[in-house]
Structures are given as C-alpha cells and as structure tokens.
Structure 1
Amino acid sequence: MSAGIGLYTVSRRTRLTTVEDVHENGSWLFTVRDRYGEREEVILVPCEESVEAWVNQCMHQPQRLDRGFGAAVRDGQVVCPRHGSAFDTCSGYCDNGEADGTTLVDVDVAVEDGAVYLDDAAYDFDHEGGIDDRDGGDDGPNSSSHISF
C-alpha cells in the first residue's frame, strides 16, 4: 500500500483528509486498488456534518462525476456532468434524469476527531487524485507503452 505526503496507515485504515477540507472544497478525489489490483476512483462528498464516499462514476453511463477538478455538488447532490442526473450526497440515490432509480456504489470510510479514514476491506489506498494523477511529480508515461501521438 502506498501513501502520499501527509497520509499514513493506521491498522489497515488510511487517513485521507479532514471533514473540514471536504466541506470547504465540495469534494475530494482519491484512487484505490481492489483485491485484484485494479484501480478505482472514489470521491468524498459532504453529507450533513460528515462525509460519504462513492465510486467516482455515474450509474447511467461510464462517466466520471469528478473529472479531476472537483465534483459538481449542489444542494446536497452530486451532479453528473454529462446528463445532469443528481445523486444525493448522503444516500447516493438518484431520483431524476437518465440515472433515475439508481444508487452510487459506496465505499466505507470512518470519521474520527474530524479526520476521514478509508475503512473498506475491499480497497487499498493508492494515491490522492485521479487514476492518471501521480504523486511526487512523476512525469513518466501512464501506461506500459512509451509511444506518443
């Protein structure tokens, strides 16, 4: 399991950020790996006085809710940038648009003393930011191919 600057692991839980930071910025994006090593993006969003975590994908089509510069969060809902479906930040449920009747995939987090921890046995923390983001300024290629067009 890797950790970026300011992140550390406590008995299998990884400290991600603070509730205050998520509320101030509207969302917080990070990348995890599942038990097969596949990467998945996750967003933290404000929910009342705390936060919730959801897989960063609209349920209607493969569309990232946070495309790397923050999720659109309005009136307690995460809005899909493609079709405008809005998901409740606390329940993940959508009651409108193309994704009506669906619920975002949740990721377990724990909050202690204002800090947010990844607390989901199905995932290991990979890094802050999206799948293509690199910690430490690595400007190398993001795939096994070194060919560019």
Structure 2
Amino acid sequence: MSGRYRLTSVDTVSEEGAWLFTVRDGHGEEREVFLVPCEDDESTVEAWVNSCTHEAQPLYREGVGTVVREGEVVCPKHGSTFDACSGHCDNGPAAETTLPDVDVSVENGQVYLTDDDVRFLREGASSDDEEDGGPSSTSHLRF
C-alpha cells in the first residue's frame, strides 16, 4: 500500500524525543504512529502504534510528546512501560504484551515508512483526535 515514504530525520526524532504521524491501515482506519529513538543503537528508530495495549490510551500526545525513561515508553494512565526498541512490556497492567509496530527503515540518517500495510496520511495527530487533548486518567503519575 505505501511503498517507501520519507518521514523525517533520525536527528529530529532524537532531538524531539519522539515524532508523531498518521497512517491509513488496510481497513481504511486512521492510526497514529510514533517514532522513538532506540537507545541500543543511536542511528535506529522504532515505530509503534500510538495506543497502550492495556487500554486504548495514547502514548504520544500533541503538545506533550511521549514520555521515555531509561529506554522505556511510559503509559501516562497506568504507568506500564514498553521497551522503546522491542515494544515489549514486562510490568503493570500491560505486562506480557507488545506494542504493534509499523515498519520503518533508516538510510543516511533519514527515516522511511516501508510498511506495505499502511499508507502515510500526514505528520501529526489523526483527525479523529479527542477535543480535550489529554488521556482520561485516574493516575497520580507526574511527568
């Protein structure tokens, strides 16, 4: 569906900590995806669907970004953490799950969408985003 589409640079993802874009999947649904640097290799980034596996809470929020601590993406609602390189969670309510990935590649410092199951729509959030701009949370986590 997508071929190869240049998204951004590795430097941009590293400087901003994460980078959000929207794709259309094979079912015609818009999906938000975020890029995060993989601490195992500074020249690598990974792409994850922007939704906690425990409860459909966004892990990246416009204006806030993605909270990454010690190489792990933190769910702002319940505190589960996902390895930025593998997407695997081994704690909290999302334990023993893995974030759905989207195929990307890096060439000469540029990040390309290479997943044939999705088509790039736009940089930034889905047009289906909630109006309130934040996750519905009962958590006492502070970032």
| TM bucket, shorter chain | 0.7 to 0.9
| Residue matched to 2:30 | 39
Residue 68 (structure 2) pairs with residue 73 (structure 1): yes
Q: What is the CA–CA distance in structure 2 between the aligned matches of 1:37 and 1:77, rounded to whole Å?
A: 30
SS of the equivalent of 2:61 reads: coil
| Residue matched to 1:86 | 81
Residue 112 (structure 2) pairs with residue 117 (structure 1): yes
- Which structure 2 residue ranges, 5 or more long, are not aligned? 129-143
| Residue matched to 2:137 | none
Are the equivalent residues in 1 in contact too, given 2:31–2:126 (CA < 8 A)? yes
Residue 21 (structure 2) pairs with residue 30 (structure 1): yes
TM-score normalised by L of structure 1: 0.80
TM-score normalised by L of structure 2: 0.83
Which contiguous aligned blocks of 4+ residues in structure 1 show a shift greater than 2 angstroms?
none
Percent pairwise identity: 61
Offset at 1:35? Answer: 1.9
Offset at 1:12? Answer: 2.0
Offset at 1:36? Answer: 2.6
For residues 96-107 of structure 1, what are the structure 2 equivalents within 5 Å? 96-107=91-102
| Residue matched to 1:17 | 8
Higher relative contact order (CA 8 A, sep 6+): 2
Tell me the number of residue pairs that the alignment of Structure 1 and Structure 2 aligns.
125
Look up the equivalent residue of 1:26 and give its one-letter code.
G
Q: Per-residue displacement from partner, 1:43-100 (whole Å, max 9, x unpaired)?
A: 0001031100000000000100012131111110100010010000000000111101
Q: Per-residue displacement from partner, 1:103-137 (whole Å, max 9, x unpaired)?
A: 0001000100000000000000000001038xxxx
SS of the equivalent of 1:37 reads: coil
Q: Which one has the largest radius of gyration?
A: 1
Q: What is the CA–CA distance in structure 2 between the aligned matches of 1:12 and 1:102, rounded to whole Å?
A: 29
